[in-house]
Amino acid sequence: MTKITFLGAAGAVTGSKYLVEAGGKCLLVDCGLFQGARDLRQKNWDRLPVDPASIDWIVLTHAHIDHTGYLPRIASDGFRGPIFANAATHELCNLLLLDSAHLQEEDAKFAAKKGYSKHSPPLPLYTTEEAQQALAQFREIPRSDPFTISPQFSVKPYDAGHILGSSSLQITITENGKSATVVFSGDVGRYNQAILNDPASPPRADYVLCESTYGDRDHPTTPPDDCIAEIVNRTAKRGGAIVIPAFAVGRTQTLMYILRQLENQQRIPKLPTFVDSPMASNVTDLYIKHREDHRLSFQKLEQSGDGDPLDTHEVHMVRSVEDSKKINAIKTPCIIMAASGMCTGGRILHHLEQRLSDARNVVIFAGYQADGTLGRYLLSGGKDARIHGQHIPVRAEIQEVSQFSAHSDRTEMIRWLSGFQAPPKRLFLIHGEPDAAQSFSARVQQQLHWNVSIPKLGDSFDPFA
């Protein structure tokens, strides 16, 4: 029987996995890691309700770990089929999956040393070797041309404008001479961004599975460069450091582009900027390489003689751990960007440990902070941060600049849905926390008069119904 099952990102923003079954074949759309609160992360250790060996193919909407980070685990649990992704997504996954494996290994080692893990001895969810195994299963697909996986499944990608390579996938499912079309939105980006194209709406679908991360709010309309200029100037004047937990993919590049523009316009001082993420600088190279996703003309910027548009004037790309530690000694105003963006791991934790207790400093959150993360705790005014098992008093200023979000807000999501030529039979709201999904459901029913459901983990539906 034909059905689509929600195996992740139902009632939460992470763990995206949707199983499409037709004609005895199984296609998994996205294969994300659960991130955030401990009970959610614990789900990564549960066995999937479907045997990984019985899945024939995986297709990816984009490279973010909450859409791809389970691939090494599913491969080591028996999935042997091809993983379809476009060139940019493939190249980003080369970086992200190895980094994710490395982080899992480091966290397990660190927990062993400090003795605070629940597992004894602490285990990584997967190893670098297992990530390499998954990467060997990648097969490149076209950026926007349609392609056929099998007699049951064909796919047409649309640019989702969220990160490099990001797509919404229109999948046509065929069984016994009948066809149904289902759109998987992936993560939908914003309109009129600095670097990437606008998100494109697929023309039609019988069913739509749409993200709802920001379904309950609109992003502020103040231009992001005004916000950043104001915070940078204020903090530099009082001698503080600007700490930015940044997702290595997308956010870092947009922030660097805006900081560079502000420096060129002499609206902010030229501060030393530390990009403390070997991955972020590798990703920046990919952003410069894959221009098919750009609205921005790099050529024009390069010809203007203003230098590299994705670097500030005094940029330090920090690679080694020793150089990362040296940043601690810098007591004059500077900008520090490090991953992870939600402060769930990575080098940002060491910088927060160093900088949170000083009231001159500022921490700028430029992306979504999931429930249960340290980022969400700081944003909601928490004063006692627990980092690496220690208590750190929070005296630094905490700021949110959600204009940098890589996700559409409520109004933009309605605009994206309005681009469909006809209403689908049903819209499923996924990839949102319950309040956001509920609120967006009410909005869609009121403005577009569509049928809307909010599925729970494990729910399924028949696309031929």
Establish if 64 lies at the interface with Zn ion (CB under 5 A).
yes
Give ∠ CA 351-318-226 in degrees, rounded to 5. 65
List, edge to edge, every strand of the sheet that includes 25-29.
Answer: 138-141, 83-86, 57-59, 25-29, 18-22, 3-6, 460-461
Contact at 8 Å (CB) between 179 and 22? no
Q: Which residue is nearest to Zn ion (CB)?
A: 64
Contact window for Zn ion (CB under 5 A) among 184-192, 240-248, 281-289, 371-379: 184-192
Nearest residue (CB) to Zn ion, 13 versus 336:
13
Residue of 187, 311, 412, 433 that binds Zn ion (CB under 5 A): 187
Q: Can you list the positions of beta strands (E) in 265-416?
A: 273-275, 315-317, 335-338, 362-365, 384-387, 390-393, 397-400
Smallest separation, CB 392 to Zn ion (Å) = 29
Contact window for Zn ion (CB under 5 A) among 132-140, 182-190, 224-232, 441-449: 182-190
Smallest separation, CB 38 to Zn ion (Å) = 22
- Tokens representing 59 are 């297709």
By CB under 5 A, the residues from 346 to 365 that bind Zn ion are: none
Q: Do the bridges between strand 362-365 and strand 242-245 make them parallel or antiparallel, or are there none, so unpaired?
A: parallel
The site string for Zn ion over 128-167 (x = CB under 5 A, - otherwise) reads ----------------------------------------
By CB under 5 A, the residues from 310 to 349 that bind Zn ion are: none
Nearest residue (CB) to Zn ion, 64 versus 355:
64
Count of chain residues binding Zn ion (CB under 5 A): 2
Rounded to whole angstroms, the Cα distance separating 220 from 189 reads: 15
Nearest residue (CB) to Zn ion, 84 versus 274:
84
Per DSSP, the residues of 174-227 read: EETTEEEEEEE--S---SS-SSBPPPPPPS--SEEEEE-TTTT-----S-HHHH
To 10 degrees, what angle do helices 278-289 and 251-264 make? 80
Nearest residue (CB) to Zn ion, 91 versus 187:
187
Contact window for Zn ion (CB under 5 A) among 58-66, 135-143, 252-260, 380-388: 58-66
Smallest separation, CB 348 to Zn ion (Å) = 18
Contact at 8 Å (CB) between 85 and 164? no
Nearest residue (CB) to Zn ion, 187 versus 263:
187
**Torsions phi, psi for 87 (to 5 deg):** -60, -45
Contact window for Zn ion (CB under 5 A) among 117-125, 186-194, 254-262, 438-446: 186-194
Contact window for Zn ion (CB under 5 A) among 64-72, 247-255, 310-318, 368-376: 64-72
Smallest separation, CB 131 to Zn ion (Å) = 19
Scanning the structure block, which residue is given the tokens 């600088």? Answer: 281
Question: Under DSSP, is residue 341 helix (H, G, I), strand (E, B) or coil?
Answer: coil
Smallest separation, CB 199 to Zn ion (Å) = 12
Q: How far apart are the first and last CA of the chain?
A: 11
Q: Which residues bind Zn ion (CB under 5 A)?
A: 64, 187
